[in-house]
């Protein structure tokens, strides 16, 4: 009897994580069938056939094309669209990733139809309830049947909240992804040559979280910090659409003179830039982890992180949105504890599939 899984994704990082699990699902023909639903939450011009070919996953069967608007409107429209798909597909499981509005909508739609939910990256907590992602994580965990944690700390967070049933530490699926794609990136990506970069002679930066882009004071500080680093070495900044819009509206784009600005980059190019950077400045949870996986020092422009292991082991420095702290962290770069891997053994995707098959 075939077990049907509906996978809900809406943002590029979720597709990247789903790629690893989808490859494992395909190893079980006749036992597992996957239907991929893209909510359309994040429009990405690179989310084309080339992107899916690069990740070696099939195109989504459904694309709801829901993006923009407030959190309530977006989540409500997604909930309506996903519910109809679940009624049509009648899956055995709904698989969700991370902490986006797509994650929450998928969890709620499934729970209300009494379809078991498997939540990848369960148990992560920043303990900042002002972050919409934190609310999404907590609510998704509350209605999930399988809580697939990336770390022991995530499991402890759930235990502290009284959640123990269905909880397991499968490791971080992004570690699977980084191991799988780092070799491909080294062979296929030409981004360093294209941008005229020398390995270990530049800093890669990303900024996209609303807490930074939508707060003029924080964004000004981050821009000033990147300018400070750019006076010392090359800084490469792929611009998220929301970040570009905020920089333009706040008249800060011209302040990034000397910073190499690019459009959002294909996944393999980002991996290549991460691998060869002297340091990474970011507010992205995924990029923080990739920096850790590749043992590249990371400066995180947030006040807290759900990936506390990278901080505890010395690879990640939290600086908030402070020009002085950003530049100071760069001036005092040092590596952390080497060869300690709290995010599993690179086999998380297989463990996720095994958990679904045996429950």
**String of DSSP letters for 20-80:** HHHHHHTTSTTTEEEEEEE---S--TT-SHHHHHHHT-PPPSEE-----S-HHHHHHHHHH
Element (DSSP H or E) covering residue 118? strand 117-120
Bridge partners for 120 per DSSP: 97, 148
Please state, in angstroms and rounded to a whole number, the distance separating the CA atoms of residues 268 and 185: 5
Q: Is 208 a catalytic residue?
A: yes
Planar angle of CA 233, 235, 238, nearest 5 degrees: 170
Among 38, 42, 119, 208, the one annotated catalytic: 208
Give the H/E segment covering residue 138: helix 132-143
CA distance 247 to 213: 8
Residue 231 buriedness (CB in 10 A; 0-12 / 13-18 / 19+): exposed
Q: Catalytic residue numbers?
A: 208
């Amino acid at each position: 009897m075939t077990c049907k899984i509906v996978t809900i994704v809406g943002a590029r990082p979720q597709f990247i994580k789903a790629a690893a699990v989808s490859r494992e699902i395909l190893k079980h023909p006749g036992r597992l069938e996957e239907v991929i639903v893209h909510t359309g939450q994040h429009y990405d011009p690179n989310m084309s056939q080339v992107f899916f070919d690069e990740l070696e996953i099939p195109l989504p069967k459904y694309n709801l094309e829901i993006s923009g608007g407030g959190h309530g409107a977006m989540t409500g429209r997604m909930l309506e669209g996903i519910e109809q798909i679940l009624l049509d597909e009648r899956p055995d499981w709904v698989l969700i990733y991370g902490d986006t509005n797509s994650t929450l909508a998928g969890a709620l739609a499934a729970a209300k139809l009494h379809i078991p939910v498997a939540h990848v990256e369960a148990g992560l907590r920043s303990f900042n309830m002002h972050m919409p992602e934190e609310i999404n994580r907590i609510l998704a965990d509350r209605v999930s049947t399988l809580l697939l944690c990336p770390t022991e700390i995530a499991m402890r967070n759930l235990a502290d909240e009284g959640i123990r049933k269905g909880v397991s530490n499968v490791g971080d699926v992004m570690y699977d992804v980084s191991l799988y794609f780092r070799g491909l990136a080294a062979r296929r990506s030409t981004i360093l040559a294209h941008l005229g970069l020398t390995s270990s002679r530049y800093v890669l930066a990303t900024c996209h979280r609303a807490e930074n882009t939508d707060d003029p004071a924080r964004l000004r500080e981050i821009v000033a910090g990147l300018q400070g680093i750019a006076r010392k070495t090359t800084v490469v900044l792929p611009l998220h659409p929301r970040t570009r819009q905020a920089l333009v509206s706040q008249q800060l784009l011209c302040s990034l003179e000397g910073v190499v600005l690019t459009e959002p980059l294909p996944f393999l190019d980002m991996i290549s830039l991460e691998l060869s950077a002297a340091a990474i400045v970011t507010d992205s949870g995924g990029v923080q982890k990739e920096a850790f996986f590749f043992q590249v020092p990371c400066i995180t422009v947030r006040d807290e992180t759900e990936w506390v292991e990278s901080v505890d082991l010395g690879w990640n420095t939290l600086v908030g949105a402070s020009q002085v702290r950003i530049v100071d962290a760069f001036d005092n770069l040092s590596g952390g504890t080497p060869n300690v891997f709290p995010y599993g053994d690179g086999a998380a995707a297989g463990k996720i599939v095994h958990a679904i098959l045996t429950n």
